[in-house]
Amino acid sequence: ESCQGLGGKLVELETQEENEFIKNEVMTISSGVEGYWIGGYNFNNDGDLEWLSKPNQPMPIIDWNMETYPQPDGLSTQPCMMIWRSFDFRWGDHWCNRLLSYICEFQHQ
């Protein structure tokens, strides 16, 4: 809702280059921010996350954290998607009511 109010949407990372750019930016600018919401969601409670603007389409890339706490680890109960500092800003699933910062993207005109 906050991104929409600004005329954008939660970021949808559709290329490896875009994903790396966002990770590098948040590593550079975030001072103690725990995580950021991005635009992935488990629409059908089926374990498959899709981008909010493209339900029922597979994500073209994935960057799940697979180390200390392999992700996704609770899609039936944690349908929203974020990037965590403790995962080196790789993707994770989480409960949608968690208070986190968020990353918006805007249509370039």
Domain of residue 61 covers 2-105
- How many whole angstroms separate alpha carbon 27 and alpha carbon 107? 24
Total tally of structural domains belonging to the chain: 1
Give 51-66 pLDDT, tens digit per residue. 999 988 889 898 988 8
Structure tokens at 100: 């986190």
Residue 70 CA neighbour count, 13 Å, CB half: 1
Q: Is the pLDDT of residue 97 over 80?
A: yes
What are the beta bridge partners of residue 93?
81
The pTM for the full model equals: 0.87
Mean pLDDT calculated for residue range 91-102: 91
The three-state secondary structure class of 16 is helix
CATH of the domain at 32: 3.10.100.10
> End-to-end distance of the chain based on CA atoms, in angstroms?
21
Compute the mean pLDDT over every residue in the chain, rounded to the nearest whole number. 88
